Amino acid sequence: MPDNEALTTGAQTAVSNLTANGWQGALKLVILAVVLFIICLIIKSVLLKVLDKGLSKSNKIEKSFHTFIHSAVNIVLWFVTAMIVCQSLGINLTVLVALVSIIGLALSLSVQDSLANLAGGVTILATQPFKVGDFIDIGGTTGTVREIGMIHTKLDSLDNRRIILPNGSVIGSEVQNYSTLPQRRVDLSVSAPFSMSIQQVNETIEKVMSAHPKVLQDPAPFVRAEKFGEKGMDYTVRAWCQNADYWDVYFDLTQQIKEAFDQAGIAVPCGKVAVEVQNADR
């Protein structure tokens, strides 16, 4: 194969360059290569720090891209370092490119899943279905996005668990983003006895929603009788609020509607268990 021939020729050339001036010349070349390698590492470290500092100050680049850009630049700098060191040793750069292509082919065959995850990471960063800090649901897994990497996306769950999802599975799943829009709707289902007036129940719930400071009046709160339940009439309750106030409004309305029902004499239907006691002859 041409690549094998190029590698063989390149290796022979490198060995010839190292041994052309004896072991002292070879030692000088090796020392020069080591010095260049150290210098490249120092320069690479400085450049990455400058890059990170610039990204942290930039408001135009989404935070989700920061880790990806850092990793991509790091890979490029490593490749440049390898080229400089190999050239100092007299290795033909075309040989290095051929070697990289062979290694890349072998890796692509052995890490297909990782490449799929990498492609998924690029897709996420390009389409931006979510960003760092968003609260999302990915295929039934919910949490706040903490990091979007090249291979994995990291979420923090509500009970403070770190969840790591492969990007390949992320782009293949349904994604619900609860943080994109500024407002959310709180949906509740409330039951009341059949004997209670529908108008009275509606008015009681409407008063609770109108009095809550975080419930928006535009769009207007909504309450209607929905269906006949097994133990009473079921009502649909909907209230709009700011995204950040969702859980406060959800729990407040649940509690305050129950308290309002108690004050209005509206009993919440509950199941009854019939117990039959039989006397057994002994």
As its CATH architecture, domain 129-177 has Roll (2.30)
Q: Of 13-22, 207-216, 229-238, give the lowest mean pLDDT range.
A: 13-22
**Predicted confidence (pLDDT) per residue in 26-50, tens digit:** 677 788 888 989 999 999 999 999 9
Q: Could you give the CA distance from residue 196 to residue 204 in angstroms, rounded to a whole number?
A: 12
Token pair belonging to 224: 């209607």
Q: Outline which parts of the chain fall under CATH 2.30.30.60.
A: 129-177
Structure confidence at residue 215 as a pLDDT band (50, 70, 90): very high
- In this structure, what are the phi and psi dihedrals at residue 129, rounded to the nearest 5 degrees? -70, -20
pLDDT-above-90 percentage for the chain: 43
179 versus 121: the higher-pLDDT residue is 179
The highest-confidence range among 13-17, 55-59, 177-181, by mean pLDDT, is 177-181
- How far is Cα 191 from Cα 269, in angstroms, rounded to an integer? 7
152 φ, ψ to 5°? -125, 155
The whole-angstrom separation of Cα 46 and Cα 219 is 53
Q: Which CATH number applies to 183-264?
A: 3.30.70.100
3-state helix, strand and coil shares in percent for the chain, rounded to the nearest 5: 55, 20, 25
Please tell me the distance from the alpha carbon of residue 198 to that of residue 205, in angstroms, as a whole number.
Answer: 11
- Average predicted confidence (pLDDT) for the chain: 82
* Average of per-residue pLDDT across 205-230: 93
Range list for CATH 3.30.70.100 in the chain:
183-264
With bands split at pLDDT 50, 70 and 90, how would you rate the model's confidence at 11? low
